[in-house]
């Protein structure tokens, strides 16, 4: 009974804190804001159709008049095709946006200066997004390349080590730091494992991380729903060091790690990462508490990419959730449209990366080339206003998935998600792994 009370109050506290967090975030607004409203409620248009935008500048919920507003409209991440200015004499400006001739996204950006402070806002609207296709192509030896990579990695002894982290344990869940040998002898990946204390067998979930060099917290939410969870880092460093070390690495030797060895498909940084995700599944499936059947993977941004890649490489995965995945259709910029994070072929990186061998390597690591290999049911979620992982890029990957898939679009969100997205995706995920 005492344990039940502890669980109840823990969940109640988490709900309260989460509610406060969402409420606080939703209430953080600029003193002046620019509202951009498309004439389609779902922000979706057909190729050749012309959107109309209404633009207003608002302060204290009241539209401002006689302020100078400028706007730009064009394909996502590309040069604007239409620009203009208005003094907003009537407090609102209606703009006919033009159209797109091929499936993709259009961006409307507006700027205004009020009392010496500049404000900016933008929205993306879709044109036949479900028809966007990848610009990248799958190499002829793509499947064999990854089959060989996994076979080579399987020869390396895992040598798992589990270290209890008493300060992170709860009344019902034990938390461990896990160390697994991987990729070569003496090289490791680290993660935080959450294990229900009650005897029994449970589904297992791999939580894969977003980009950066940082501590990755234990995945407690799904653990509290009765799952074994393993949240991993990808850089081969422990997850219990001082914060400044991660910052130093992120700004030092691991800065722009997504470009490291991009000229060699066998040495590229993400080879270690992709095979490491499978190594993490290998570990989860050895645990005696694992139920032997229900294995899932979940992540957002870089983690969304890794969730999709892991499901493609390892068909033991029974369900995946991917939020706004990175690394999709990387060559988009070479074809006059937005490409996925890390924007390796965007104009700002062309001098460094626009080379035949780097373009070739990207094909072996592009999520759009893994997507057709996914067999597990997946739930995907994103918004249209993502400046980091452009929606053009992740639709290019999503549209070639042949496995069962569901998509929840929260149009106004960017490189973040709202409470409804989490609720829907986690509910779906739990049903898949506990039915």
Q: What is the pLDDT of residues 15-44, one digit of tens each?
A: 444 444 444 444 567 899 999 999 999 999
- Residue 330, domain extent: 142-434
Pick from 99, 129, 159: which residue ends a domain? 129
DSSP 198: S
- Whether residues 178 and 76 share a domain: the answer is no
pLDDT tens for each residue of 325-374: 999 999 999 999 999 999 999 999 999 999 999 999 999 999 999 999 99
Q: Annotated catalytic residue: which of 86, 231, 235, 301?
A: 301
- Whether residues 260 and 328 share a domain: the answer is yes
- Whether residues 179 and 312 share a domain: the answer is yes
Residues near 155 by beta carbon (within 8 Å), at least 6 away in sequence: none
Q: Is residue 13 in some structural domain?
A: no
Q: Is residue 11 in some structural domain?
A: no
Pick from 62, 97, 129: which residue ends a domain? 129
Q: Is residue 297 in some structural domain?
A: yes
Listed residue (330, 265, 322) closest to 298, CA to CA: 322
pLDDT exceeds cutoff 90 at 92: yes
- Whether residues 103 and 215 share a domain: the answer is no
The bridge status of strand 378-382 relative to strand 319-323 is parallel
- Whether residues 357 and 426 share a domain: the answer is yes
Q: Annotated catalytic residue: which of 282, 381, 386, 393?
A: 386
DSSP 354: -
Strand partners of residue 392: none
**Is 301 known to be catalytic?**
yes
For the residues 169-180, what does the mean pLDDT come to? 97
Q: Is residue 263 in some structural domain?
A: yes
- Whether residues 166 and 115 share a domain: the answer is no
- Whether residues 183 and 208 share a domain: the answer is yes
- Whether residues 405 and 324 share a domain: the answer is yes
Pick from 88, 105, 129: which residue ends a domain? 129
Q: Is residue 22 in some structural domain?
A: no
**Is 21 known to be catalytic?**
no
Structure tokens given for 267? 């040495």
- Whether residues 328 and 194 share a domain: the answer is yes
Q: Annotated catalytic residue: which of 86, 231, 282, 415?
A: 415
- Whether residues 290 and 326 share a domain: the answer is yes
**Is 187 known to be catalytic?**
no
Taking the whole predicted model, whether its pTM rises above 0.85 is answered as yes
């Amino acid at each position: 009974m005492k344990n039940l009370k502890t669980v109840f109050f823990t969940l109640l506290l988490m709900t309260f804190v989460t509610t406060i967090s969402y409420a606080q975030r939703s209430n953080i607004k600029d003193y002046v804001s620019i509202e951009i409203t498309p004439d389609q409620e779902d922000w979706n248009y057909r190729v050749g159709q012309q959107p109309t935008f209404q633009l207003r500048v608002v302060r204290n919920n009241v539209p401002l008049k006689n302020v100078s507003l400028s706007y730009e409209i064009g394909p996502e991440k590309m040069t604007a095709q239409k620009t203009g200015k208005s003094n907003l004499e009537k407090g609102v400006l209606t703009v006919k946006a033009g159209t797109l001739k091929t499936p993709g996204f259009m961006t409307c950006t507006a700027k205004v200066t009020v009392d010496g402070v500049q404000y900016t806002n933008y929205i993306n609207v879709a044109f036949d997004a479900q028809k966007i296709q990848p610009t990248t192509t799958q190499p002829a030896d793509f499947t064999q390349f990854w089959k060989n990579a996994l076979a080579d990695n399987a020869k390396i002894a895992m040598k798992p080590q589990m270290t209890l982290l008493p300060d992170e344990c709860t009344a019902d869940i034990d938390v461990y730091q896990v160390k697994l040998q991987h990729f070569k002898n003496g090289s490791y990946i680290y993660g935080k494992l959450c294990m229900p204390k009650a005897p029994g067998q449970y589904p297992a979930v791999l939580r894969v991380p977003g980009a950066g060099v940082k501590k990755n917290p234990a995945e407690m939410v799904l653990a509290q729903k009765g799952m074994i969870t393993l949240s991993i880092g990808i850089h081969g460093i422990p997850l219990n060091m001082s914060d400044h070390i991660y910052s130093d690495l992120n700004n030092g030797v691991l800065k722009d790690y997504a470009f490291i060895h991009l000229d060699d498909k066998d040495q590229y940084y993400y080879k270690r990462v992709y095979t490491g995700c499978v190594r993490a599944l290998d570990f989860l499936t050895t645990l005696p508490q694992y139920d032997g059947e229900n294995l899932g993977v979940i992540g957002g941004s870089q983690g969304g990419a890794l969730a999709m890649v892991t499901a493609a490489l390892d068909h033991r995965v029974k369900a995946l959730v991917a939020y706004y995945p990175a690394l999709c259709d990387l060559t988009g910029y070479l074809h006059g449209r937005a490409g996925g994070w890390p924007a390796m072929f965007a104009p700002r990186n062309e001098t460094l990366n626009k080379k035949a061998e780097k373009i070739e390597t990207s094909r072996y690591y592009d999520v759009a080339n893994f997507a057709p290999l996914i067999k597990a049911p997946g739930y995907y979620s994103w918004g249209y206003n993502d400046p980091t992982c452009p929606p053009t890029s992740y639709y290019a990957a999503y549209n070639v998935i042949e496995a069962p898939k569901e998509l929840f679009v929260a149009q106004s969100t960017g490189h973040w998600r709202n409470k409804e997205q989490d609720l829907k995706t986690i509910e779906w995920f739990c049903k898949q792994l506990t039915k």
